[in-house]
Chain A
């Protein structure tokens, strides 16, 4: 990292981007006791060049849920040009070619749009920690801070669902838990989407979320706080 860009980053960190200021303002007061239908959610997935700290986001897919309905006309899907194309070892998995990446816009241009897309929504993802890690690293760099949106991890909801409702005939709970989104979708017999496309994975995850939110606690989950409580340990995180 050159000295110049280091200085620029410092400068940006001192003065967060107006979008982030707005983002923080939105969640300064956050009420968890409203019914789920009053919140909006953005279900997201990212594709990465790899999983090391050097790796970068090369694709973001996200879909919006409001009134607990998934809006198919309101989606976000874009490729991102990484700083270092050589790192992209995963072409084989996500089927994104180097040429496509060269033609894509850099994260600097994409992120503001994405932050705007997320708006006042809670962020949902499967094993979201990973996606948020890379996203926040990028927002720190580009916008001078991290996202304040509360997050929900569907993996934790799946665990909660299995613990509460998957008691088998012998009275013991099946703890063997597939973590992979596609295996879970298969097990719950959800409509299926193609794996390893950020948008399709986000859609798959959104279906999983709708399923879980309405099935957890025998369909008795009304408010965000209740969703939080069934999904112990900590589901909701406020940065």
Chain B
């Protein structure tokens, strides 16, 4: 009968499977075979589908429409909510794979239709399809993150037509053109120059005289010009005298974009490429520029060369456009944030340098501090100014008055120009124009001490903005000293950290659930999720508290997490999960804001889960799960919470 009528399973299930992980990676004929084994069942809202420790799992349930909650009831009857799952999610995979009874209680929170895949069919897929079991066992594997990024690029931004993905796909090791040319450190400058001419290279690596593997420095054309010819140095001097040391290195598996960031942040043109502790070559900014990396790098250089302040305005307004292209080309969020920070810093550096020329040198050395997301190097398209000035303690009252006048003028002008450059004013007036945030070092130290001693709510709020400060321009050592002072304070003050942690745990917005997400109940952002407040801020707060507690100097959230991992405060597994979750959300937020800019809407942080792909939603939900785990870690440090 089937042969003559309709032999394929209805399209509905094949279409469904073709959209969800990991089924979508199956060959179409396998999907069709699987689809024929599938049944549909309906469960009214309130149905208890599985009972932990009791229910045998006969089918993998794939939610076609509706939603369920997964929870655990402990011996005393207390319910812990573990997860919400919605369309495209599955129930029971782990139990089937491990051959156990249900490990969670599952109840329908909406009227729910499920596709039922018989246990045996699912197990067959697990054993026959490469990557299938991996998917279920490793819910946040690298592979999925990678797939997700490609999906984000593909579906949500589209491909930019004019560019290749070279900068992000090619590894540094792949663009090395020749083995490194080296010379012993005791060779003469003349010998080195001769060798460079012979091999037609613009740089030589310098090794220890008795060990060719031991690279200790680098000499470039520019060094010969600036350090030998210009000052008239004797070319019989050893090359060691003019080399740059140590050599900036980059791992061979890093992407060219990584290398570009390194070059821009360290203002070096040459990077030695390292593979298994061995230098295998040298790459230059020219090599990178050849890979279509012109845009960011030339903008960076153009800013640095600008001689007039108003010449900076149009350059800084080019940054969002450039970032947009980088996202389209597939840069990851962590990279993008660093790139934005580097370019903004470059604008700031040029602006303040030109202003100093205008106003004359400052009476004492100072440091322009960046706070908040700028301080953490986590800006996106539109970043309010959060800045302050920290200067050396004046010697006497007269100098103090001079400082006050000078820095007031500097701050006023700098902030006006920054507004012209497209950085909006801080609504909370956390800017160097505010006399409270323009102080000598001793006053700043006192200020931080006061906050740490009196954890009133406002002080706790200040902390979140101020404690992420970093040096933006000027004498960075002043910022270092302030950081040391702060770390001394907070490491001791468990009470203060306790208040910070409590604030971190209590920050919960009015909630309702939509497509299993916590969203605003009503108002302008009804059914939307504030990805900054609900998604990213918990990670930022967590990283800050533990950074303060353990005296970590980093301000960037990902960097703080790295250090926490290295110091074994976070498990490797949780570190990886937190990093992925954080970066994934930054990416979603960037893409969201990019899409808003494309239609001339001011960028915000309100994302509608309904608009996300199934994969985005599942990753976002996994990311939220990580928050609970981070909070659990906080509670182990602050048991009284």
Residues on A lying within 8 angstroms of B by beta carbon are: 63, 68-73, 75-78, 105, 113, 116-117, 189-191, 193, 199-200, 203, 206-207, 210-211, 214-215, 219
Contact = CB atoms under 8 A, between A and B. Distances in A.
Contacts of A72: 9-10, 12-13, 35-36, 38-40, 115
Nearest to B116: A69
Contacts of B1: 76, 113, 116-117
A161 B39 CA distance: 25
Interface in B1-39: 1, 4-6, 9-10, 12-13, 35-39
Q: Which among B40, B42, B111 has the greatest number of chain A C-beta atoms within 10 A?
A: B42
A207 B44 contact: no
Contact of B40 (A69, A113, A116, A189): A69
B334 to A, nearest CB: 39
Contacts of B13: 72
Interface in B364-384: none
B113 interface: yes
Nearest to A219: B44
B113 A207 contact: yes
Contacts of B40: 69-70, 72, 206-207, 210
B9 A210 contact: no
B44 A190 contact: no
A75 B111 contact: no
23 contacts: A63-B10, A69-B41, A70-B40, A70-B41, A72-B10, A72-B12, A72-B39, A72-B40, A73-B9, A75-B9, A78-B5, A78-B6, A113-B1, A190-B113, A191-B12, A191-B65, A191-B113, A193-B12, A199-B6, A203-B12, A211-B111, A214-B43, A215-B111
B6 A76 contact: yes
B125 to A, nearest CB: 16
B6 A189 contact: no
Contact of A71 (B4, B6, B39, B64): B39
Interface residues of B, number: 24
A67 B43 CA distance: 14
Q: Is the interface of B mostly helix, strand, loop or mixed?
A: mixed
A73 B37 contact: yes
Contacts of A68: 41
A210 B4 contact: no
Nearest to A204: B12
Contacts of A203: 10, 12
Given A191-B64, A203-B10, A77 B41 contact: no
Nearest to B59: A69
A115 to B, nearest CB: 11
A113 B39 CA distance: 23
Nearest to A188: B111
Nearest to B39: A69
A77 B42 contact: no
A207 B4 contact: no
Contacts of A70: 39-41
Nearest to A211: B42
Q: Is the interface of A mostly helix, strand, loop or mixed?
A: mixed
Nearest to B41: A69
A72 B36 CA distance: 6
Contacts of A78: 4-6
A210 B39 contact: no
A184 to B, nearest CB: 14
Given A72-B35, A73-B36, A199-B10, 10 more contacts: A69-B41, A72-B10, A75-B10, A77-B6, A78-B5, A190-B113, A191-B12, A191-B113, A206-B40, A210-B42
Contacts of B4: 78, 105, 113
B356 to A, nearest CB: 65
Contacts of B65: 189-191
A175 B195 CA distance: 95
Interface string B93-120: 0000000000000000001010110000
Contacts of A219: 44
Given A72-B13, A203-B10, A215-B44, A77 B111 contact: no
Q: Which among A68, A72, A113 has the greatest number of chain B C-beta atoms within 10 A?
A: A72
Contacts of A193: 12
Given A72-B9, A75-B10, A77-B6, A207 B42 contact: yes
A206 B40 CA distance: 10
A220 B1 CA distance: 37
Contacts of A210: 40-42, 113
Contact of A77 (B5, B39, B43): B5
Contacts of A206: 40
A71 B13 CA distance: 11
A160 to B, nearest CB: 16
Q: Which among B1, B6, B113 has the greatest number of chain A C-beta atoms within 10 A?
A: B6
A62 to B, nearest CB: 10
Contacts of A75: 6, 9-10
A135 to B, nearest CB: 16
A189 B111 CA distance: 9
A224 B65 CA distance: 27
Contacts of A117: 1
Nearest to A70: B40
Nearest to B113: A191
Interface string B135-178: 00000000000000000000000000000000000000000000
Nearest to B5: A78
Interchain residue pairs A-B with the least CB separation, the first 8: A77-B6, A73-B36, A70-B40, A210-B42, A69-B39, A78-B5, A113-B1, A191-B65
Contacts of B37: 73
Interface in B284-340: none
A70 B59 CA distance: 14
A32 B127 CA distance: 44
Interface in B22-74: 35-44, 64-65
Nearest to B37: A73
A72 B41 CA distance: 11
B492 to A, nearest CB: 58
Nearest to A113: B1
Contacts of A200: 10
A77 B35 CA distance: 16
A36 to B, nearest CB: 12
Contacts of A69: 39-41, 116
A24 to B, nearest CB: 21
Contacts of B35: 72-73
Contacts of A116: 1
Contacts of B41: 68-70, 210
A215 B35 CA distance: 27
Nearest to B45: A215
A73 to B, nearest CB: 3
A10 B334 CA distance: 82
Nearest to A194: B11
B44 to A, nearest CB: 5
A236 to B, nearest CB: 22
Interface in B198-252: none
A90 B113 CA distance: 33
B12 to A, nearest CB: 7
B467 to A, nearest CB: 48
A181 B9 CA distance: 22
Q: Which among A68, A69, A210, A219 has the greatest number of chain B C-beta atoms within 10 A?
A: A69
A232 B520 CA distance: 44
Contacts of A63: 10
A73 B6 CA distance: 10
Contacts of B9: 72-73, 75
